[in-house]
């Protein structure tokens, strides 16, 4: 069962935006790449990954590009290795298909979790082969 949802940046509350910005300032995320790098620059196609049961913000997704998307994602270190990655890919794929994306383009891999990221990219791409 999917335990997460994506919320567009423009629909987040001031408290949620503040919480995200505070978390991104934490030194543990100093070298995190991907959506944390562009969170404050981009407005469109930016999403918070929110846990449904308690509305905890567990990550970010950037999903620009139409009809070919080259999304990026980031899971907060507190929530990594807990099975959320596949849920993010499944939820993201559903959103992209509904939004007219026909194909996933190149997705650069950054950071320390490249092996796991490759599995997530494979899962996302497979959603477009169905």
Residue span of the structural domain in which 100 resides:
4-127
Question: Are 91 and 101 contacting, i.e. CB atoms less than 8 angstroms apart?
Answer: no
* Total of domains in the chain: 1
* pTM, to two decimals: 0.90
Tens of pLDDT, residue by residue, the chain (130 residues): 679 999 999 999 999 999 999 999 999 888 888 888 889 889 999 999 999 999 999 999 999 999 999 999 999 989 988 999 999 999 999 999 999 999 999 988 766 667 888 899 999 999 887 6
CATH of the domain at 123: 3.40.630.30
pLDDT value for 36 = 85
Question: Are 113 and 81 contacting, i.e. CB atoms less than 8 angstroms apart?
Answer: no
């Amino acid at each position: 069962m999917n335990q997460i949802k994506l919320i567009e940046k423009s629909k987040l509350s001031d408290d949620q935006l503040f919480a995200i910005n505070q978390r991104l300032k934490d030194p543990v995320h100093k070298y995190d790449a991907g959506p944390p790098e562009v969170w404050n620059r981009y407005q469109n196609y930016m999403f918070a990954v929110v846990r449904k049961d308690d509305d905890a913000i567990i990550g970010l997704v950037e999903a620009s590009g139409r009809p070919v998307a080259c999304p990026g994602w980031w899971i907060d270190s507190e929530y990594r290795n807990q099975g959320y990655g596949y849920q993010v890919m499944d939820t993201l794929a559903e959103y992209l298909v509904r939004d007219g994306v026909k194909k996933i383009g190149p997705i650069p891999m950054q950071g320390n979790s490249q092996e796991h990221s490759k599995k997530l990219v494979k899962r996302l791409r497979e959603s477009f082969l169905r």
